[in-house]
Amino acid sequence: MSQDTTGELANIRVLVEVNGPVATLILNRPDKRNAINMGMWASIDAHVSALAAQPDIRVLVVRGSGDHFCAGADITELTNGPGGEYARINWAAEEALANFPGPTIAVIRGNCVGGGVSIATACDIRLSSDDAVFGITPAKLGIVYPTNALERAVRVIGGSAAKHLMFTGELIDAARALRIGLIDELLTVAALDARVDQLVAVLLERSSLTQVASKAMIDEVVREGKVKPKTTLQWETEMDKSGEVREGVAAFLAKRAVRWPWHRH
């Protein structure tokens, strides 16, 4: 499916494009700066879960339609608070993103606020243009932030920066977001898409086994402080039977393109 915000697709609030091993999830509500309603959270969960079940999809890119990433949750749905069914669906969507087995990239422009930050921090790598602004704004609404999103924010930017953003609800620019580790790379608007394409190309050249195993183990370190012996054994066994190292070394010595034999299953 190619991106098209005219006609029928304009009414679809979450789009998915698949180009070979790369899937792109597009928040498609540009008239509202891609603010997310409950139906969109449910669509994110459904789409990402379906993509995770397809072994040929190696990389997932998440972006917003138009000039913004995501202005956060649709406030009109939060008049009774963010609990109950809304909280369940919101949580499931973010966990689906965080648990996608391969590399995920958030491509950020314009507003990245509230739920936009929680989507971005559920991704592995965050690339931002210099027109982006960031904020975590529950203090403006009296909301106690969802635990999963709060934990991820602290893991990404640390306790002090998380407190500052959470206490004040202030918006910060992309340069400060880079300093506190909220984004990984800062680019001009003109350079952003080319860098995304370049990064995706590099990821596709590298071993999918290394990427998937590394993601699983790094996430375990972040959650539990170490890699469990069971996890180490699992991935060492997978490496030994995969043929990845033999092919990687053979390609290096022969100065030829590598043909990785391992595929996610």
- Confidence (pLDDT) at 82: 60
Distance CA 218, CA 196 (A): 23
Confidence of residue 2 (pLDDT cuts 50, 70, 90): very low
Share of the chain above pLDDT 90, in %: 86
Is domain 7-204 annotated with CATH 3.90.226.10? Answer: yes
- The overall pTM is greater than 0.75: yes
Q: In Å, how far are 32, 36, 105, 123, 262 from 119, measured between CA atoms?
A: 17, 11, 11, 7, 29
pLDDT surpassing 70 at residue 135:
yes
For residue 26, what pLDDT is reported? Answer: 98
Mean pLDDT (whole number) for 118-126: 97
Q: What is the mean pLDDT of residues 45-59?
A: 97
The gap from C-alpha 147 to its chain's centroid, in whole angstroms, comes to 18
| Residue 102: closest CA among 206, 247, 187 | 206
What is the pLDDT, as a whole number, of residue 87? 85
Higher pLDDT, 153 or 6: 153
Summarize the confidence of residues 128-148 as an average pLDDT. 93
- Confidence band of 78 (pLDDT split at 50, 70, 90): low
Query: Domain residue spans in the chain?
Result: 7-204, 207-254
* Residue 130, C-beta contacts closer than 8 angstroms, at least 6 positions apart: 174, 175, 186, 187, 188, 189
How does the average pLDDT of the chain come out, rounded?
93
Asked if residue 4 has pLDDT above 60, the reply is no
pLDDT for 265 equals 85
